[in-house]
Amino acid sequence: MSSSEKSDALLALLGDGARHSGAALASALGISRAAVWKRVERLRGSGHDIDARPSLGYRWNSPVEPLSAAAIQRHLRRYKGHEWPEIHVDAAVDSTNRVLRDRAPSGPTMLFAERQSAGRGRMGRVWQSPPGGLYGSLSWSFHDLPRGPVGLSILCGLEAALALRHLGAAGIAVKWPNDLMLGDAKLGGILIELWGEAAGPCRVVIGIGINWSALPEDAVADRRTTGLAQAFRGERPDRNAVAAALVDALVKACRACPDRLSERLAADWSSVDALAGRPVKVLVAGRERQGVAAGVDEDGGFRLRDGADVELFHSGEVSVRALP
């Protein structure tokens, strides 16, 4: 067994939330008690809330249900009307976007990972990926995306928000372009990478990351974060059901692009728009503009109203902040 397989086996044993003695864990894993202790310390270091008592043993205080491709496929059966991508679940990768970029699968493929060591966010940011969150990427090919990936990325945010609401996470909204928000705290985000020509055949990898709980403040410099546990008001959602809902959401977004993009935005964007009517500032290439958020145009561009003027922003490198 590799080191990460041993950690996964240890988590599987602790996953019942009961207390286990060091001796019992050592014998189940075929390692020494000292090795169990070291491994638990490492898992605690990577964010697992494991209680360790010298005489009583170990208990994982908030075990999460592991992801499984079979369980996600089972949940997908409740959604109709698509052929599903191949579903894979890995224990740990550097970045699911990076893996799918290099693997370049020929058909639609969704890869989830329990952990990412080098998760990537928009605009070159790091995406913190502690255990429990959902980290997945969908590889999808298009005949063409004549207006580029921005509209697709907005539609992915919209469909993901609607899917989470449908599962019971009321109040999820989207901050343009595709931050999933609960109030002013970020729940998740989407990163799209594209190869080929946007005006011809191209392949995209759509990465979606959803926090399980708020990240420690120093992990995200200037933003409040929240997680699934809060979004479902303390009820622990079934992670495989949420993963399946996200697969369905991303597939829906891909199938609607490019032909039905404007129709979908016109129908539903206003119901998820976290910024509508709010004073905002837009940061793009060192420039700052202030105004009032006024929805999106038919391609998903951000509309900033300043008096009678409306300025449009389409680039994926634009950042929008609500003003107090």
Interface with ligand BTN (CB under 6 A): 95-97, 116, 119-122, 125, 127, 135-137, 179, 189-191, 207-209
Task: In whole angstroms, give the CA distance from residue 116 to residue 69.
Answer: 17
The residue (of 41 and 184) whose beta carbon lies closer to ligand BTN is 184
**Among the options 98, 186, 252, 264, which is catalytic?**
186
Instruction: Find the shortest distance in angstroms from Cβ 156 to ligand BTN.
Output: 11
Residue 186 annotated among the catalytic residues of the structure? yes
CA–CA distance from 312 to each of 207, 226, 288, 296, 315 (Å)? 25, 29, 13, 8, 10
- Rounded Cα distance between 274 and 183, Å, is 8
Length of the chain: 324
Q: Residue 57 or residue 136: which is nearer to ligand BTN going by CB?
A: 136
Task: Give the shortest CB-18-to-ligand BTN separation in angstroms.
Answer: 31
Residues 6+ apart with CB under 8 A from 304: 280, 282, 289, 291, 292, 293, 294, 310, 311, 312, 313
Taking alpha carbons only, the member of 174, 153, 187 closest to residue 315 is 153
Q: Which strands, in side-by-side order, build the sheet including 287-296?
A: 309-313, 302-306, 287-296, 279-284, 319-322
**Which residue in 165, 278, 303, 321 is the catalytic one?**
321
**285 vs 307: CA distance, rounded Å:** 23
CB closer to ligand BTN, 10 vs 155: 155
User: Could you say which of 120, 122, 252, 264 is catalytic?
Assistant: 122
Closest distance to ligand BTN from the beta carbon of 282 (Å): 17
Nearer Cβ to ligand BTN (125/233): 125
Nearer to ligand BTN, 148 or 189 (CB): 189
What φ, ψ does residue 81 adopt, rounded to 5°? 95, 5
DSSP-H helix ranges across the chain = 3-14, 22-29, 33-45, 69-76, 96-103, 150-167, 228-231, 239-256, 261-272
Q: Whose Cβ is closer to ligand BTN: residue 71's or residue 191's?
A: 191
Smallest gap from residue 317 Cβ to ligand BTN (A): 12
- Asked about 321 being catalytic, the answer comes back as yes
Shortest separation between residue 82's beta carbon and ligand BTN, angstroms: 21
Nearest distance from residue 135's CB to ligand BTN, in Å?
4
The CB-nearest residue to ligand BTN is 189
For 41-67, give one letter per residue: b (16+ CB within 10 A) or e: eebeeebbebeeeeeebbbbeebbebb
**What residues are labeled active site?**
122, 186, 321
